[in-house]
Amino acid sequence: MTIKDQIESILEKAVKKALKTEGEIFIQYPSDILHGDYAANIAMKLAKTMQKNPREIAEQIVKNIPKNTLIKKVEIAGPGFINFFVSEKTLKSEMSKVLKEKAKYGKCNEGKNKKVIVEYSSPNIAKPLGVHHLLSTIIGQTLNNILGAVGYKTISMNHIGDWGTQFGKLIYAYKKWGKKEILEKDPINEMLKLYVKFHEEAEKDPKLEDCARKEFKDFEEGDKENRKLWEWFVVESLKEINRTYKKLSGIKFDFTLGESFYEDKMEELLEEGKKKKIFVEGDEGSYIAKFDDENIAPMVIQKKDGATLYSTRDIATLKYRIKRWKPEKILYVVDMAQNMYFKQLFETAKRFSWYKDEGFHVSFGRMRMEDMQMSTRKGNIILLDQVLEEAIKRAKKIIGEKSPDLKNKDAVSEIVGVGAVKYNILSQNRSTDIVFDWDKMLSLEGNSAPYMQYTYARAHSILRKASAPKKEAKTSENKSEIDEKISQLLRTIPKFREQLIYSAHEYKPNLLCQYLYELAQKFNSFYNSVPVLTAKEPKERLFRLKITQAVSQILQNGLALLGVAVVEEM
RNA sequence: GUCCGCGUAGCUCAGCUGGAUAGAGCAAUGCCCUUCUAAGGCAAAGGCCGCAGGUUCAAAUCCUGCCGCGGAUACCA
């Protein structure tokens, strides 16, 4: 139980006792630390229905809060806020908890016995990963980690796009313009070239689209040559994609099942849907699902030539997942351009008896370049590999300047560079679009992963030196300033568990980032004005070392969830 | 056209389950390395929270309209 939960429960009881009513308790962090650690606005909320002055109500509630060791004092302030100040004892015991639980600190069993499938990354095969793939990949992986930390049993899935008309296009393009030797030498780039060429040519001659559809249809019906090409394309692409995941580090899937995996599961689904009139005939012999809401366009489920679509595969996939894993929820970490599609998908699924509203679209904003859309079709993409390499290069350059004597420069540059890229994505609210900019994406200062890693490294630098012979104590300490910094740092610790849970509920990694940043800021402020190793009193020295240890532990745990590693020195 | 999302400091963005003086980073100004890593800290500066109404004790946050930007809009994924 978090401190916030405990206060909530204390308050709830007090409200019941004092007013014989129940109100929705909402605890928030006051904007100003002078207003305490937690605040409740319940008195103001109840003022109207009770026709009483909110401050009077607050007083009645406060009178009914029993004495306890959790809270130091309760204040009524402003128009009727009830402000809680957490006792030092509570804060110190939370700090001890960190030191005791170490890497496990923060974990809870909120989601116990609940299974969640998280689908993310899901690249289309035969195309290299672009920077924009970072969004689904990193956000998805992090949500998977966060949900796991708060106790959910997560199943991470990479739903590879290895099926569909795009392969018709590629097969057609290869047959027409491709050369075996070239493709063997540099598979992914050659496939991309062919794919781009196809779209260029198709612009001039739209009939090519039909040719591609035909190739896909032949393929789906078992054409040997096309099957063989497909396999080749898939194998080569996967090799490349996995290489990139490795570079990103921390990207792990419990299952990588391509759309092709569901090939033999679509027919049964189509029959079921048609029989139940969920899929009805549309134009020219196609099958569609219609919706009452006229703002939702009908969804095509089978093309007029009988071939399947992504919608067909997605519903088959949904059914398969529900039957096999019986999850509480299935999260689709997919860009918001597909908002309507997911509405269609889930609406359709609702009509099947096996679906119980498991699906949830975790949508996120799009990444684009300053002046144009990123489009694989048009070939204007920035490769993910390229971005990671540049990030590492920049990190290395700075290390060369700032820490020329550092031992493992290469390893550190990689951790810092890749971390910066990941954090950059994760720290932004996922619904906001991102305009790709090299300098911003690879920033190594301010609110960034390196800032946190640096904070961690400084903390550990202190801890490493703690056992060395004691240095001379400082002659004078600014007591009030020191107390203030320590208090602020201490009060930030319990929020970790609270914000982690909040972040899991909202599926928003940026909430966790924000917390970690706040903690790091407070620590840096502490670092600059509170001497640790040279503390005057031995007792004080020990205590400051403990806080340092606790804070660095939280930073490490939190960053680990974000897939960002820490370094001892940088 | 319709539907969805967004519009906050010069720039990039937090904050949006309504709450107390709207917060960061970057850029620009000044200060702090003979004390634990200056990738840092401190100080000051910077805001009709797109516009206009409405609901409320209280609106950046909720509702309506308008303007601007982005996206979606049946056989791509």
Q: Of A451 and A473, which is predicted with more confidence?
A: A451
Q: For residues A317 and A320, give the distance between their C-alpha atoms in angstroms, rounded to a whole number.
A: 5
Strand B contact with A151 (CB < 7 A): no
Q: For residues A318 and A342, give the distance between their C-alpha atoms in angstroms, rounded to a whole number.
A: 12
The 10s digit of each residue's pLDDT in A53-112 is 999 999 999 999 999 999 999 999 989 999 999 999 999 999 999 999 999 999 999 998
Q: For residues A92 and A367, give the distance between their C-alpha atoms in angstroms, rounded to a whole number.
A: 43
Q: Give the CA-to-C1' distance from A416 to B77 in angstroms.
A: 34
Instruction: Give the confidence band of A295 by pLDDT, cuts at 50, 70, 90.
Output: confident
Q: Give the CA-to-C1' distance from A429 to B50 in angstroms.
A: 21
In degrees and rounded to multiples of 5, residue A108 shows phi and psi of -150, 175
Q: Give the CA-to-C1' distance from A5 to B61 in angstroms.
A: 24
Q: Are A234 and A258 in contact (CB under 8 A)?
A: yes
Closest CA to A451 of A524, A544, A367: A524
Confidence check: pLDDT of A457 > 90: yes
Q: Give the CA-to-C1' distance from A86 to B53 in angstroms.
A: 43
Interface residues 325-364 of A with strand B (CB < 7 Å): 336-341
Helix axes of A133-149 and A509-529: crossing angle, nearest 10 degrees: 80
pLDDT of residue A193: 87
Strand B contact with A165 (CB < 7 A): yes
Q: Give the CA-to-C1' distance from A514 to B36 in angstroms.
A: 26
Q: Give the CA-to-C1' distance from A437 to B12 in angstroms.
A: 10
Closest CA to A486 of A534, A557, A548, A533: A548
Q: Nearest nucleotide to A302 by CA–C1' distance?
A: B75
**Mapping DSSP to helix (H, G, I), strand (E, B) and coil, where does residue A357 land?**
coil
The 10s digit of each residue's pLDDT in A371-416 is 666 766 666 778 899 999 999 999 999 999 999 999 999 999 999 9
What is the distance of C-alpha A414 from the center of its chain? 21
Q: Give the CA-to-C1' distance from A164 to B75 in angstroms.
A: 12
Closest CA to A142 of A523, A437, A496, A506: A506
In this complex, the residue with its CA at the shortest distance from the C1' of nucleotide B23 is: A31
Q: Tokens representing A407?
A: 């031992």
Closest CA to A526 of A564, A489, A479: A489
Q: Which nucleotides of B are covered by protein (CB under 7 A)?
A: 2-6, 12-26, 35-42, 56-58, 70-77
The 10s digit of each residue's pLDDT in A507-541 is 999 999 999 999 999 999 999 999 999 998 999 99
Q: Tokens representing A191?
A: 């496939």
pLDDT of residue A379: 66
pTM: 0.95
pLDDT of residue A164: 80
pLDDT of residue A92: 97
What is the distance of C-alpha A201 from the center of its chain? 39
Strand B contact with A172 (CB < 7 A): no
pLDDT of residue A372: 64
Strand B contact with A514 (CB < 7 A): yes
Strand B contact with A259 (CB < 7 A): yes
Q: Are A448 and A424 in contact (CB under 8 A)?
A: yes
In this complex, the residue with its CA at the shortest distance from the C1' of nucleotide B3 is: A295
Instruction: Give the confidence band of A299 by pLDDT, cuts at 50, 70, 90.
Output: very high
Q: Give the CA-to-C1' distance from A44 to B63 in angstroms.
A: 22
Confidence check: pLDDT of A126 > 90: no
Interface residues 10-29 of A with strand B (CB < 7 Å): 26, 28
In this complex, the residue with its CA at the shortest distance from the C1' of nucleotide B6 is: A432
Q: Give the CA-to-C1' distance from A355 to B16 in angstroms.
A: 32
Among the residue ranges A13-22, A513-522, A539-548, A560-569, the one predicted with the least confidence is: A13-22
Furthest-apart CA atoms within chain A: distance in Å: 89
Q: Are strands A280-281 and A38-40 parallel, antiparallel or unpaired?
A: unpaired
pLDDT of residue A137: 96
Interface residues 219-258 of A with strand B (CB < 7 Å): none
Interface residues 183-212 of A with strand B (CB < 7 Å): 209
Strand B contact with A474 (CB < 7 A): yes
Instruction: For residue A454, give Cα distances in angstroms to A368, A399, A445.
Output: 30, 12, 10
Place of tokens 């899937």: A253
Q: Give the CA-to-C1' distance from A423 to B36 in angstroms.
A: 27
Question: By percentage, how much of chain A surpasses pLDDT 90?
Answer: 73
Strand B contact with A431 (CB < 7 A): yes
Strand B contact with A53 (CB < 7 A): no
Among the residue ranges A265-269, A465-469, A483-487, the one predicted with the least confidence is: A465-469
Q: For residues A282 and A293, give the distance between their C-alpha atoms in angstroms, rounded to a whole number.
A: 17
Q: Give the CA-to-C1' distance from A32 to B23 in angstroms.
A: 12
Q: What is the mean pLDDT of residues A244-273?
A: 94
Q: Give the CA-to-C1' distance from A114 to B70 in angstroms.
A: 37
Strand B contact with A260 (CB < 7 A): no
The 10s digit of each residue's pLDDT in A160-188 is 999 888 888 899 999 999 998 998 888 88
Strand B contact with A34 (CB < 7 A): yes
Q: What is the mean pLDDT of residues A461-489?
A: 87
Q: Tokens representing A569?
A: 């020195």
Q: Nearest nucleotide to A451 by CA–C1' distance?
A: B39
Instruction: Give the confidence band of A201 by pLDDT, cuts at 50, 70, 90.
Output: confident
pLDDT of residue A75: 94
Q: Give the CA-to-C1' distance from A65 to B16 in angstroms.
A: 31
Q: What is the mean pLDDT of residues A238-242?
A: 92
Instruction: Give the confidence band of A23 by pLDDT, cuts at 50, 70, 90.
Output: confident
Q: Nearest nucleotide to A303 by CA–C1' distance?
A: B75
Give the mean pLDDT of chain A: 92
Strand B contact with A499 (CB < 7 A): no
